[in-house]
Chains A and B, each alone.
Chain A
Amino acid sequence: MMRHVKFIRSVVLAAISFIIFFSSPAYALHGETHKALNIYIANNKLNDFCLNTYLQDVLLFQEGVDEELIFDDIPKQVFRWIGLGGEREDDPWGKWYRKEHYLPGFGRFYRHFHNPLTDNGLWDIDIINKYGWFDSSIIWAFEPAGEQGFTGNYSWYDVETYFYNALTAENEFDRQAYFARMFRGLGQLMHLVQDLSVPEHVRDDGHVFYNYEFWLDKIGTRGNIYFAGGNIYLRNYRNLEETVQIPSDDIPFVFLDPELFETSMHQLSHIPVANLFDTNTYNGENPDDTINKSVGLSEYTNANFISPDTMSSFGTAPGTGDLPYPRVIFDNADSTSSICRFDAPDPSDGETSKYYSKIRHGEHVQYFLRAYLRNNFMDATCQYAPETCKEWWQDTIKDNRVYANYAQKLIPRAVGYSAQLMQYFFEDRIRISMTDDGFYAKTDADNPEAGFATIKLLAQNISTYEEMPEGTVDLIIKYKVSPCDPFVNQDWLSPACRTGNLPFHYICVSNTDIVSIPKAGDGQGAEMVFDLTENLPLWATDVYLTLSYKGRVVEKDAENNILYEHHAVRVGSKDISEPTPIHIINNLDKICLDTISPAGERVKDWYDAGPEAITRVDTREINKYGNDDGRGDEYDVYAHTVKDLYIRFSRMDNLLIVGMNQGEYHYHLEHIPPGELVNSLYLLTDITFGAETFWISMCNSVAVAASDPLKAEHDALWPHFTIEQLLNMGLTDEFSKRAVKNQNEPEGRYVPSYRLFRGHELWGGIRTYFPPYHPDIYRDPENPETHCPEDDLTVAATYGQGLDIRSISNDCRTAVIFENGTAMERMVEKGDRIDGLTVIDIGNRKVILEGEAGGESGMETRIILKSSESNKIMLYQP
């Protein structure tokens, strides 16, 4: 029934609008100011919130506000969708009907009014209020989802629904469409907040003719606000020939006190963000509270400014009725008046004009009203006998200086408050982290090619005031699939291996057992396990996790009453590692021997375990400590099989030791023959550039390889501990590792490089071997190397030369670059060439080079990035 009433209501409004405006075969452009304000907000960091950063970090938009989204076959960047919303709240149809007719808002703009003293909208009379034709803009903004009607559904709840649908969309087409609608809807909601900075919109003034909005109109004939180069300029009321840029020290943006987002203060909406509209603080008797306290924008504007039809000259005397302030009494002697008249020279004509300042009852406004001297030509006598004309003063706010003064007070609030609406909508309220396992997922060691079947994580509600007690929790995994094997060194910059233009894939999964997300203060957060409907492939790159909660949000007001938003959407996201291999190679078929002959000839090198190594240690001619008995009783020089290798991972901030009991290890490898590589273990874990991100604890025992012909000989000479004994003695091996980052970022791509070790390309390869055999108990002071150089078993990668940033000067004019190939450091500035590349820019923590990419061998994530567009290489300072 409610839907029918609203539909009929809309049709009636539409009919009125249509009749009024049908005659004009023209196009709508109303809303340019809203559009420009929205775009400014989308592109700038305000109140410590930067949409671009949020989009990149949480919603995982690589291009941030520049990401293009297609809806209804229209591609637009995010910031332009938000700008479009600013236009469309007045004119929902846009260019669709530009050829045929101009169709106005079909009633949308009738609902852009809110009088904070009555909580009603436009035309506050009984019959209007009874049928809710022109409800307060608070009601309009917070209509239930799908209830705004055929001009489009863009209420707060609609926008939240689009958000949820976008997050859980299973294909890119739907995802973009819903995100586009969400951003447009946000722009429309911001429009509603901005309208509250217009006196007409909060003083029930159906303004038809020239008014503040026309005066302000962006680049209009009388345009006095201008947007260029990402800045906002206003005409300066102190000197109309000048402009002022905002924000400035004198004209800062104004925001609502963040604490007022703790609870809703207005009965028309249970969502605290409605406090941006009205906090119910101003009651018509306390105008000073509108500046001494943080209040809704409608309250500030209503109490401190007037509109043409709500000043005394039009017949409604302020100071009476439901608009008590500003109290406009044209008598300087009256201390109950809000205003005081003064003379001000007009620089344009040199004439002295009379202005009124608002000097009390809230905000002070220097140019609040202007008084024009007029002749009463309507008087019959005056028309025929000019000398009898009576001069009289007409008071008006339609004055450049007055409107400029208004704008400098109101625009900073329009920007600040509407920016806060977006900030509140997007506030990151869920934190994702790893469990004590130190990873989000691991492969099945017996079937790694199947990828990852389960994601386990911790989720925390990190909002200040909200609780999320009951809802649906979805996990969305976003990723690409590498066209090249991501676990070997590749020419990542070749067209065949580039992933920049590849589409993202999405896996969306719910766990019906999870209904709530606990607050951060309740511990580490809730452990959540999601069994994926389809496995995340092993060749996934650019992997991101997003957790969404849709359901009740509980907050407590001052009286501890619990308030609800039933279908709120909250999200948290995390850029996690790409599948990271845990390469393990049993190097116990090699033995490092450091021998010295009786003649003093010293040799330190790797040898094959078994007969070759026995000969080296037993032959006295080679080793002065050898006993020439044909047995390897000088040292354990036998090949070994790794038995019962137990591996446990954990977080860097909570290191855990491996054990044999269930829950104390993640992988158990029973048997690794000497020389064999294990490459079936992969993790999804945290990624922090330049730092270790997960911890490995492992323990294993060894036995002589079954195939070794000297097994019996060894067993007689060298007994070994069992795994139980080793664990009991605490002889475990612990170390930290970095995870793989293999993904595109706005300026290029991170790629891994692998180290060639004994013919294998390894990431974080784990080698187990005995300490080296030393002939002397005292090490050679001239040769302090305690072990054979590992590099002797390493074949240098041939991927090219590597470059690292060692330092960047404070003025970003020079950088010290380390050339891995030559192990040299060199200071460079713009224009210098290094390693075949040209330095084209030096910035904060990065150096940009141009030319063919270099490379680097090593175990760490490559630092070199290359843009697919510009052939630029980015070095980032760790």
Chain B
Amino acid sequence: MKKIISMGLMIFFGFMVAPCHASWLIYHKPEFKGKVIDAETKAPIEGAAISVYYKVLYYDIGGGGTRVIHTKETLTDENGEFVIPSYTTLMLPFNTSANADFIIYKPGYASYPGGVFLCLFNPEFFFSEKKAGSNGECKIDKVPITLTFGVLELPKLSSKHERLRAIPSGPACCGAEEFPFLYKLINEERRRFGLGEVN
């Protein structure tokens, strides 16, 4: 009986939520700032794509998950620096704020995420204006790792294999329309190795 009630409640809430286009929670992310440098030479990397996608948590019977509600993008300047303005919007019921996530890519370098370890720091925390310049530390198997918030060091790659693997696949939500800078760089790299374009 409990299961029938439980299922009924789920469906009831579902119907109730369906027409609720009016949002009732505020979604806000602050400005993000950072700097991208070569891990070995510490030289700034100009022209790296900084692609940000803003996510909310949603809930469903299968376990729920995260979904993207907005995207922003920019390129690093000659100093390797970037700024992503703050973003505020309204959320739907049964959604809660999740972190903003990043893709950072420059052909010839390891990309984020996947190629760079930020401990377990949330990237939005890592690139938050308030934290910029301060040090953070975590431990991997009890070995301390120190990072400077806001400064992302990308290791340089040399082989074709490494470079192709560093090409980010991007979140399922978004393609060249949402991230034109990112996909421009991706396709430049793909053409360099004789591969067709993706969008």
Contact = CB atoms under 8 A, between A and B. Distances in A.
B171 interface: yes
A315 B116 CA distance: 45
A84 B20 CA distance: 32
A289 interface: no
A22 interface: yes
A454 B165 CA distance: 41
B140 A213 contact: no
A93 to B, nearest CB: 9
Contacts of B17: 20, 23
Contacts of A152: none
Contacts of B175: 95
A112 B175 CA distance: 29
Interface in B98-152: 98-99, 101, 113-120, 122-123, 138-142
Nearest to A125: B3
Contact of A91 (B18, B114, B172): B172
A796 interface: no
A16 to B, nearest CB: 6
A305 interface: no
Nearest to B9: A208
Interface string A50-87: 00000000000000001010100011110010011001
A243 B138 contact: yes
A349 interface: no
B164 interface: yes
Q: How large is the interface on A (under 10, 10 to 19, 20 to 34, 35 or more residues)?
A: 35 or more
A406 to B, nearest CB: 15
A646 interface: no
Given A20-B60, A24-B95, A869-B193, A29 B142 contact: no
Interface string B7-23: 10011011101111100
B138 A206 contact: no
A397 to B, nearest CB: 15
Q: How large is the interface on B (under 10, 10 to 19, 20 to 34, 35 or more residues)?
A: 35 or more
Contacts of A109: 60-63
A870 interface: yes
Contacts of B117: 226, 228-229, 233
A242 B139 CA distance: 5
B142 to A, nearest CB: 6
A228 B120 contact: no
A208 B10 contact: yes
A90 B14 CA distance: 18
Contacts of A245: 140-141
B59 A241 contact: no
Interface stretch (B36-44, B66-74, B78-86): B66-74
Contacts of B67: 24, 26-30, 102
Interface stretch (A215-223, A380-388, A593-601): A215-223
A32 B92 CA distance: 22
Interface in A197-215: 198, 200-201, 204, 206-209, 211, 213-214
Contacts of A214: 57, 63-64
B164 A29 contact: no
A104 interface: yes
B58 interface: yes
B161 A26 contact: no
Contacts of B56: 26
Interface string A95-136: 100100010110001101000000000111100000000000
Contact of A228 (B65, B113, B164, B165): B113
Contacts of B18: 19-20, 22-23
Nearest to A250: B141
Contacts of A21: 58, 60
Interface string B167-199: 001011111000000000000000001111010
Nearest to B173: A27
A646 B4 CA distance: 84
A233 B13 CA distance: 37
A32 B66 contact: yes
A235 B119 CA distance: 10
A809 B61 CA distance: 59
B55 interface: yes
A39 to B, nearest CB: 9
Given A20-B18, A29-B172, A244-B141, A105 B62 contact: yes
Contacts of A98: 173-174
A623 B111 CA distance: 81
B3 A124 contact: yes
Contact of A208 (B59, B165, B194): B59
Contacts of B169: 76, 80, 83
A31 interface: yes
Contact of B64 (A16, A76, A213): A213
A748 B68 CA distance: 42
A732 B99 CA distance: 80
B146 to A, nearest CB: 13
B88 interface: no
Contacts of B165: 66, 77
A318 interface: no
Contacts of B118: 226, 228
Contact of B141 (A80, A123, A248): A248
A112 B113 contact: no
A221 B173 contact: no
Interface in A281-333: 309, 315-316
A188 B142 CA distance: 35
Contacts of B172: 27-29, 31, 84, 87, 91, 94-95
B65 A28 contact: yes
A77 B164 contact: yes
Find the residue from B116, B175, B198 having the highest chain A CB count within 10 A.
B198
A132 to B, nearest CB: 16
A465 interface: no
Given A90-B65, A209-B59, A211-B63, 9 more contacts: A19-B18, A20-B14, A23-B21, A27-B172, A76-B169, A83-B169, A110-B61, A219-B101, A221-B122
| Nearest 3 CB-CB pairings of A with B | A30-B65, A109-B62, A27-B173
26 contacts: A16-B11, A19-B15, A20-B14, A20-B18, A23-B21, A26-B58, A27-B69, A28-B65, A29-B55, A30-B63, A32-B65, A91-B172, A109-B62, A110-B61, A122-B61, A123-B3, A204-B3, A207-B64, A208-B59, A211-B63, A213-B65, A214-B57, A221-B57, A226-B119, A242-B141, A243-B140
